[in-house]
């Protein structure tokens, strides 16, 4: 009953005049006035393109950070990004079922809906949650790639409203949820993942963590790291 009550309140907020609806119509109105090719491009970007862009960004970040002295810790951060995204989506399942907010095109007329067949609930946006968790997770590992990822997450949120499948507050909720999960659980995740990645770095598949030109620390008998030893191909520098 509580979920139905909250869902009713949110639906009422989405059904009457207010900044949420005004912004919905303003952003979606761009789609109505745009040429068909632009709408098709935004449809692809909002549904699949940005997620695929994150995959490319993750690979670029992984390839780059393998050259760093602290590669195991950074690669552990990169592993945390998709794990954070998965956890954030799991957290969103009970939220959506509790709030039960219909999609904006259910309660509103005159919207240009670019993606048909959406029958699930609207709050919180899965796409916004997923992309922001990936972006913030990337930021934990590497600020440069993380900022690019966070920018992609904001673009994803804009696309979801542009496509007529989410309210702006659905997107804001998703961005907040993805950020919260990625940041709040990051210390625990790094504590668990970093030793695991360090083991991989010392195994036969260590190239997954550290490139041939990276500096590997030597561990003393007491178990504490000493100054790094450079490999032959590092001495040329």
Overall number of domains in the chain: 1
pLDDT in tens, 121-162: 989 999 999 999 999 999 988 899 999 999 999 999 999 999
More confident residue, 182 or 18: 182
Rounded CA gap, 230 and 55, in Å?
32
Q: Which tokens go with 20? A: 């949420």
More confident residue, 230 or 235: 230
Task: Say if 109 falls within a structural domain.
Answer: yes
| Residue 235: alpha-carbon gap to chain centroid | 39
pTM over 0.75: yes
Inform me whether the pLDDT recorded for 2 exceeds 80.
no
Task: Say if 98 falls within a structural domain.
Answer: yes
DSSP bridge pairs for 219 = 225
Band of pLDDT at residue 203, cut at 50, 70 and 90: confident
Structural domain for 70, as ranges? 25-204
More confident residue, 188 or 1: 188
Task: Say if 222 falls within a structural domain.
Answer: no
Task: Say if 90 falls within a structural domain.
Answer: yes
pLDDT in tens, 95-104: 999 989 999 9
Task: Say if 214 falls within a structural domain.
Answer: no
CATH, residue 93: 1.20.144
Task: Say if 129 falls within a structural domain.
Answer: yes
Is 77:189 a contact under the CB 8 Å cutoff? no
Rounded CA gap, 218 and 1, in Å?
60
Task: Say if 31 falls within a structural domain.
Answer: yes
Q: What integer is the mean pLDDT of 57-84?
A: 89
pLDDT in tens, 209-229: 887 655 555 444 344 554 444
Rounded CA gap, 20 and 136, in Å?
25
Task: Say if 223 falls within a structural domain.
Answer: no
Is 107:17 a contact under the CB 8 Å cutoff? no
């Amino acid at each position: 009953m509580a979920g139905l009550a909250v869902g009713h309140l949110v639906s009422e907020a989405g059904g009457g005049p207010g900044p949420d609806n005004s912004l919905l119509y303003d952003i979606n109105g761009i789609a109505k006035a745009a040429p068909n090719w632009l709408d098709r491009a935004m449809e692809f970007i909002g549904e699949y393109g940005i997620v695929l862009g994150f995959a490319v960004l993750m690979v670029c970040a992984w390839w780059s950070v393998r050259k760093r002295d602290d590669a195991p810790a950074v690669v552990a951060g990169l592993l945390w990004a998709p794990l954070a995204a998965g956890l954030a989506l799991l957290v969103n399942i009970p939220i959506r079922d509790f709030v039960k907010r219909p999609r904006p095109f259910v309660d509103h007329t005159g919207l240009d809906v670019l993606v048909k067949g959406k029958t699930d609930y609207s709050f919180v946006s899965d796409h916004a949650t997923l992309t922001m968790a990936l972006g913030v997770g990337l930021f934990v590992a590497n600020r440069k790639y993380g900022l690019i990822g966070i920018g992609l997450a904001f673009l994803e949120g804009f696309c979801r409203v542009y496509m007529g499948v989410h309210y702006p507050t659905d997107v804001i909720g998703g961005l907040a949820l993805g950020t919260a999960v990625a940041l709040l659980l990051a210390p625990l995740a790094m504590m668990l993942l970093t030793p695991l990645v360090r083991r991989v770095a010392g195994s036969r598949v260590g190239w997954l963590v550290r490139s041939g030109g990276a500096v590997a620390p030597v561990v003393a008998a007491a178990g504490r790291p000493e100054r790094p030893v450079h490999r032959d191909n590092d001495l040329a520098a």
